[in-house]
Copies of this chain bind each other. A is one copy, B any other.
């Protein structure tokens, strides 16, 4: 069991067979020492890639992606879930097909921050159905930049996202993959990686 899986066991709260709360250390209240460890771990897993940008999406992706960008010594680019007034019109904007994805997923980033020369590592806190990560992938591809990999802190292995993204051929690393949550016994089953 790795450091993140241990922390999930200690503090994660199972709300339902599909919902785990990690708000005391990963969302809402952030344990910076843990984030720094996550940053080092992703650096270790992707250090052979010539990363030029770390890309994440507001809000919960930011505290996970910050220490990754720090470890690589590259800028952190934050995609928004809607265009901001200051962004202007010169943006990459991607919206997933709402007939496939029940939740509307839109991501926007200014064209200034991604170019064809960029080698991108996409980081997020959580992977479930993969809609948000697929938007980020499309965004990077629209910019003609290269995706060297994707990293998430926690993958819900019982949902489709991880399977789908690996099937597309991307190098996806998840620090903890949860295969099942039992709200009655409190058991969390991690996939052995």
A→B interface (CB under 8 Å):
15, 19, 21, 23-24, 27-33, 35-36, 58-59, 62-63, 66, 69-70, 73-78, 80, 86-87, 109-110, 112-113
Contacts and interface: CB of A to CB of B under 8 A. Distances in A.
Number of copies: 2
Most buried by B among A28, A36, A59, A69: A28
A76 B63 contact: yes
A77 B112 CA distance: 30
Q: Chain A interface mostly helix, strand, loop or mixed? A: mixed
A30 B86 contact: no
A62 B113 CA distance: 19
A113 B19 contact: no
Contacts of A110: 23, 28-29
A80 B66 contact: no
A35 to B, nearest CB: 8
Given A30-B69, A86-B23, A80 B59 contact: yes
